[in-house]
Amino acid sequence: MNDWAPGIAGGALIGFGAALLLWSVGRIAGISGIASGALEGARGDRAWRIAFLAGMMIAGAAALQFVPLPPPRAQSGPTALLAVAGLLVGFGTRLGSGCTSGHGVCGLARFSKRSLAAVVAFMAFAMAATFVMNHVHLSP
């Protein structure tokens, strides 16, 4: 199998899932918004959100049966730093009114200027963070 085949297949499935959600429920497949609404949303609006999230987990579990996991990698930083990074990502999705899936997959496909600005911002910060983590040694 080619190295790029799983990425192509995964991207096609993500696009199909996003299109199917938009067609069937009329909603954008922004995962942070779907998860937030499943926890805090209106009672009558939770069923499709829970079904979507469950479907993602079931699909991931099913994929593990066909695609072997890569070897485990060493943790890339102290646990506290990783926890803070995770919280900052959550804060960023709230601040940016969406996550990478909502802006990157669905927003760009709809030619949203706000999504384009968000994608440019989070890609720039991701590149800067990667550069710092790989090339700048911040020792105490």
Q: Among the listed ranges 2-11, 72-81, 101-110, which one has the minimum average pLDDT value?
A: 72-81
Whether 120 contacts 107, CB under 8 Å: no
Identify the band that residue 137 occupies on the pLDDT scale cut at 50, 70 and 90: low
Question: Does the pLDDT value for residue 140 go beyond 70?
Answer: no
Question: Does the pLDDT value for residue 113 go beyond 90?
Answer: yes
| pTM of the predicted model over 0.85 | no
- Give the tokens for residue 104: 């990157």
- Give the tokens for residue 12: 């096609």
Predicted confidence at residue 38, as pLDDT, reads 87
Question: Does the pLDDT value for residue 1 go beyond 70?
Answer: no
What average pLDDT does range 55-65 have in this prediction? 87
- Give the tokens for residue 55: 């479907």
Predicted confidence at residue 120, as pLDDT, reads 92
Share of the chain above pLDDT 90, in %: 9
Question: Does the pLDDT value for residue 54 go beyond 90?
Answer: yes
Predicted confidence at residue 138, as pLDDT, reads 61
DSSP characters for 47-80? HHHHHHHHHHHHHHHHHHHHSPPPPPPPPSS-HH
